[in-house]
Amino acid sequence: MVVKRFEVYWVILDPTIGSEIRKTRPCIIISNNEANKNLNTVIIAPFTSTTKLYPTWVSTNFMNRNGCINLDQIRSIDKSRLKRKLGVLDRATQLQVLMILQEMFEE
């Protein structure tokens, strides 16, 4: 399966433990295209319908639904958890995601 960064898929996140985000929900692919092409895993960040302003969340409207991309819940998953492609994030949201990720991993 070939997937690309910033595509949005329905992803099966269960089973989970503790405070990990659960259920089947939309998630964005945040791993780079070279890794996505060569590995059986991808790095994803889940969407949530909660619209709080946490520093690691990106507000978005995707498919006419308001919500947030929860970047503090990023994780690596096997591609078999990806179910159906829903679309691609708009460019402005892509840039916000990259900016928050850079801030999260800076020294």
pLDDT digits (tens, 9 = 90+) for 50-98: 888 899 999 999 999 999 999 999 999 999 999 999 999 999 999 999 9
Give the CATH number, domain containing residue 49.
Answer: 2.30.30.110
pTM of the model: 0.90
In this structure, is residue 2 part of a structural domain? no
CA distance 83 to 89: 17
Domain around 49:
7-105
What is the per-residue pLDDT across 8-55, written as a single tens digit (0 to 9) for each? 999 998 877 776 677 899 999 999 999 999 999 999 999 998 888 899
pLDDT score for 20: 66
pLDDT score for 62: 92
In this structure, is residue 1 part of a structural domain? no
Quote the strand ranges of 1-107, DSSP E.
7-12, 24-29, 41-48, 57-62, 65-70, 75-78, 82-88
In the chain, the number of structural domains is 1
CA distance 61 to 17: 28
Q: Compute the Cα dihedral for 71, 77, 83, 86 and give only its sign.
A: positive
